[in-house]
Amino acid sequence: MAKLSTAELIDAFKELTLLELSDFVKEFEETFDVTAAAPAAVVAAAPGAAAPAAAEEQDEFDVVLESAGDKKIQVIKVVREVVSGLGLKEAKELVESAPKALLEKVDKEAAEAAKEKLEAAGAKIAIK
């Protein structure tokens, strides 16, 4: 097997759908016994140092589909609108695998707009 360069790998990943890429990451994690999640930052305070005065306000949100509700077909249609690049099959699989994050690290306005659309279609949504 020919060795692929980093640029060739990136080009190959660009052609995958989000679900195919997700499946790849799971398989990669299982094969190499690693995790793709970023490690949590460890903050150690120096002796005598004061704790941070206030936590920063959250500016990135995740929109999580808790359940599709009774109108699954309507929810699938709205998921295709909200999540760019999804085909009908991918949107259906995403809805059926609830609870699942639909959008990650979006601003508050985009998260609220997506939540309104999806709840209007009958889905149960959580913003984290």
Q: What is the DSSP string of 53-98?
A: SSPPPP--EEEEEEE--S-HHHHHHHHHHHSTT--HHHHHHHHHT-
- Three-state DSSP at 110 gives helix
Average pLDDT, the chain: 78
Q: What pLDDT is stored for residue 36 in this prediction?
A: 66
Going by pLDDT thresholds of 50, 70 and 90, the confidence category of residue 39 is low
Instruction: Name the nearest CA neighbour of 125 among 39, 106, 86.
Output: 106
Going by pLDDT thresholds of 50, 70 and 90, the confidence category of residue 53 is very low
pLDDT tens for residues 85-128? 778 888 888 888 878 888 888 888 888 888 888 888 888 888 88
Whether the pTM exceeds 0.85: the reply is: no
